[in-house]
Structures are given as C-alpha cells and as structure tokens.
Copies of this chain bind each other. A is one copy, B any other.
C-alpha cells in the first residue's frame, strides 16, 4: 500500500449500494453506478462548498466557485479514486488498464462520486461529509486565500497532456486601440472564440470552452 493510500472504512465495503458504486455501466446496463454518481456529484458539491464558505469568509462567490472547480474536477476526482485502497474492486468490462487516459479518468471520477452517493444514501449527510473531508484533506491543506488556483488554461494543458495530445496554439488579436482582445483556437476540427478587455482573460474564456467540450470543466 503506497503512503498516499486512503483507507476506506471496512463497514462501507459491506453496504449494498457501495458495492454497486464500484460497478461500471459496461458490466450491467441497469445494476451500475450511474444513479449513485448523480447523487454523489451533488453531495460532493455541497460539502466542498460549505467547507470553502466557512473557511474563506473574505472571498466572494466568484472566487469560491473558482476554488471549488480547482478541487472538484474530473482529473482531481480520478486521482483521489486511485488513492483508495479499494480501487481494485472497481468492475469494468475490459479492465481499465486497457483504456486511454481520458476514458479511465472519467470512469474513476464517476466511481468516486458513486461511492460518495452510496455512503450518503445508506448512512446520511454527516457520514458522507466526514468521508469527503478525509478524501480532500490534502487539497484543502494546500489551499490559502491567495493561492494561485489552477486556471482554465493550465487545466486544459494538463488534460491534453494526459491524453497525449499536442499543446494548443492560442491566437490572440487586439483591436486598434489595444483595449480589446479576440482569442481563437482550433480543436477537434472546431473553432473556439472569445473576446475580453484583457488578453489573458480572452485565452481563459476559450480554454473554458474547450474544457467544456472535453467534459472536464
């Protein structure tokens, strides 16, 4: 067991819904973890929101939303799932090792949300909250009010690296007065465009659009 391993309470492993949380839809069209993922996604959101709301009293809702997105995203959830000592109990039809990274991350992230949904449904809000706070204690430890949150451009770069894709070329053109910038980007045969008064912001907007396209936002 690696030193980063997260020990899951043995009692959880006995819960019928927790067992179901570890069944990917490729195994069963009906008895799988997708409904639990729906539930767990919402539990995760309120617990992380409450934590950030209480800890960072000086931050506005925009910054809180940004902070939450830096903690809860497909990649971070996939990483946390892989730290669970029960990760090998996950059932998929082909074995996740044969899948590409993006697909694997999506399955892992979904399974983590489903595990959270199962604990919430079987044992209630407070128990699922404790579990989530344990899962994200390292992420929370690293946060501070002025921390440089991973922006959209950085998250997109990481997501593409994980896929083995080339870095993207952002093309930014300013207007005559230099007070407005249009950024465009080619990806998957499509053009993504956005504009803003700040060059960096126009790039961030476009990166967010591509992250949405990738399902990583």
| Chain A residues close to B by CB (< 8 Å) | 34-35, 37-39, 41-43, 45-46, 49-50, 53-54, 59-61, 64-65, 117, 120-121, 125-126
Contact = CB atoms under 8 A, between A and B. Distances in A.
B125 A53 contact: no
Copies held by the complex: 2
Contacts of A35: 53, 59-61, 64
Contact of A125 (B37, B65, B125): B125
10 interchain residue pairs of minimum CB distance: A38-B61, A42-B46, A42-B49, A34-B61, A125-B125, A42-B45, A46-B46, A39-B53, A35-B61, A38-B64
A193 to B, nearest CB: 10
Contacts of A34: 60-61
Given A38-B65, A39-B53, 18 more contacts: A35-B53, A35-B59, A35-B60, A35-B61, A38-B49, A38-B53, A38-B61, A38-B64, A39-B50, A41-B49, A42-B42, A42-B46, A42-B49, A42-B50, A45-B46, A50-B120, A50-B121, A53-B117
